[in-house]
């Protein structure tokens, strides 16, 4: 995961920790204020625990990063 943050930080001239913090913040905003039907297309919402969904999101994000799509 840190390599993904590193790549994104280089693209946007910031730090890896700022990238992670921004992703976590954006995820929280989407869950609290976003359209949950759209979120459900990408993440299962059976368990609305923010931690579980965030972990699922990070696993999928790391899979995308490993495939070199960033």
pLDDT score at 11: 95
Neighbours of 32 (CB within 10 A): 9
pLDDT score at 50: 56
Residue carrying the six token digits 């700022």? 18
At residue 48 the predicted structure's pLDDT band, cuts being 50, 70 and 90, is low
Domain ranges of the chain: 2-66
Predicted confidence (pLDDT) per residue in 26-36, tens digit: 888 887 888 87
Residue carrying the six token digits 């960033």? 70
**What's the whole-number average pLDDT of the chain?**
77
* Closest C-alpha among 69, 30, 35 to residue 53: 30
pLDDT score at 27: 81
Instruction: Report CA Rg, the chain.
Output: 13
């Amino acid at each position: 995961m840190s390599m993904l943050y590193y790549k994104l930080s280089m693209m946007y001239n910031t730090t890896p920790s700022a990238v992670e913090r921004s992703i976590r913040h954006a995820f929280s905003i989407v869950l609290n204020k976003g359209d949950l039907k759209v979120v459900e297309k990408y993440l299962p919402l059976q368990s609305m625990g923010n931690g579980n969904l965030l972990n699922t999101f990070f696993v999928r994000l790391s899979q995308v990063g490993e495939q070199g799509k960033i």
